[in-house]
Homo-oligomer: A and B are copies of this chain.
């Protein structure tokens, strides 16, 4: 795991977090999140701060899980988006410098 490049590990981290939180919320609120995929969709939509509101936890326990996802997982996805942005810019600059 540690020999993988940072972006690959981060993608694995994001997938792990969304899989983890998606499964937990599916187990805690099976009526609101009928499938694990519903939970994963909610975890990505929440962690990226898009927050459609199509899936929302209703119980106190579910909301505390949601708060933990927002405060911790959100940081990782936000960082990934920032890093992806940086790569986009770098790639654009390399293109304009004729390196690619």
Given A9-B92, A78-B85: A52 in contact with B44 (beta carbons within 8 A): no
Residues of A within 8 A of B (CB): 2, 6, 9-10, 13, 37, 41, 44-46, 48-54, 56, 60, 63, 66-67, 70-72, 74-76, 78-82, 84-86, 88-89, 92-93, 95-96
CB contact between A50 and one of B6, B46, B93, B96 (< 8 Å): that residue: B46
The copy count of this chain in the complex is 4
- Bound together, the chains give a CA A74 to CA B47 distance in angstroms of 13
Given A63-B41, A82-B85: A50 in contact with B70 (beta carbons within 8 A): yes
- Bound together, the chains give a CA A85 to CA B80 distance in angstroms of 9
Residues of B within 8 A of A79 (CB): 85-86, 88-89
